[in-house]
Amino acid sequence: MAERVLVGMSGGVDSSVAAALLVDAGYDVVGVTMKLWGGESDSGCCSVSDVDDARWVAAELGIEHHVFNFGDEFTQHVVQPYVDAHRSGGTPNPCIECNRHIKFDLFFDRARMIGFDRIATGHYARVAELPDGTFRLRRAVDPNKDQSYVLHMLGQDVLGRLLLPIGGWRKPELRAEAERRGLVTAAKPDSQDVCFITKAGGREDFLEARGGLTPGVIVTESGEEIGAVPATELVTVGQRKGLNVSGMGEPQFVLDVDLKESVVTIGPRRSLRVAETGFAQPVWADESFEGAAMVQASAHGAAPPALVEGDRVVWDTPRDRIAPGQSLVFYESHPDGDLVIGGAIAT
């Protein structure tokens, strides 16, 4: 009997092709679209049209399609923590929290509860089984689309039952495959934005409507007040643009954001450099880890070498300070390292 696979179908081209490949491979496939955000959205995610597109593709593939409503859980685990993080001076990544709590927790649990053997998604990453029988998340073949960074929290229970059919594909090839199959999503643009933040209003309108924003002052490293910001909650460590300061002689960057005092400290690039970065809430693919690793601090950034020691990362070469709340993801230690060891939240 074929293994039963519940595949998440967002209504985009990636998950559409993922579902098609699973059908080709002989799995007993059922598609599910997760309804997450019920508020205002113009990002092309969580919309009625996305559900319709997923349903159309499922019909073309001859598989069942259902909708799971995780709206309350999404607000609790993703939206509210996003708001809270900004109010405490953090710079959160809501897509990571959505993967952590919704797409690979609630969805995985629901799949097991209703009798499915595996789950699958259209993420660009791969699952590797090591000689000792443990599993690791692995970077995708396409470095421009690799999503292992935002899936770093996956542990053995999920990895052992997860299928990522498009991890070995490059995006142009995948779109060509969708077109060859005549899938309605073949030319659909990728969704790049946070689904609950509108392009028109942005973070400013979203946070303003959920408790207001706090004006603040800009000071130099010596404490001299030289400017102001309309909303301290919208300022991020490492930010350069939008500070409206001049006559400083060299470019200025945000070094620190103090939400309690509504103070933003700025300074030259050299003052942004740090030798180490603290972290909290580590998660590991298998056992806890210390030692040499390649450490990535943004979704599509570089992964420079470092040492993981206790609750800190010691960089081989000083690098720009990382905004608190961002994720640090640890990969195996060599220049081509593509296996995820784990990850944590920068402090």
The answer to whether residue 27 sits within a structural domain is yes
CATH of the domain at 311: 2.40.30.10
Q: Which of 233, 212, 214, 283 is nearest to 88 (CA)?
A: 233
Secondary structure, 3-state, 23-75: HHCCCEEEEEEEECCCCCCCCCCCCHHHHHHHHHHHHHHCCEEEEEECHHHHH
pLDDT at position 42: 60
Give me the domain span that covers residue 317: 273-346
- Note whether 30 and 172 are same-domain residues: yes
Mean pLDDT for 88-112 is 95
- Note whether 45 and 173 are same-domain residues: yes
The answer to whether residue 132 sits within a structural domain is no
Please give the model's pTM, rounded to 2 decimal places: 0.93
pLDDT at position 46: 58
Mean pLDDT for 8-17 is 96
Q: Which of 176, 123, 131 is nearest to 148 (CA)?
A: 123
pLDDT confidence bin for 41, thresholds 50/70/90:
low
The pLDDT tens digits for 258-294 are: 999 999 999 999 999 999 999 999 999 999 999 999 9
Q: Which residues are catalytic?
A: 98, 195
The pLDDT tens digits for 167-176 are: 999 999 999 9
Burial of 335 (0-12, 13-18, 19+ CB in 10 A): exposed
128-146 in b/e burial notation, b at 16+ Cβ within 10 A? eeeeeeebbbbbbbbeebb
Mean pLDDT for 92-102 is 95
**Interatomic CA distance for residues 277 and 281, integer angstroms:** 14
Number of domains making up the chain: 3
The pLDDT tens digits for 178-221 are: 999 999 999 998 877 788 888 888 899 999 999 889 999 999 99
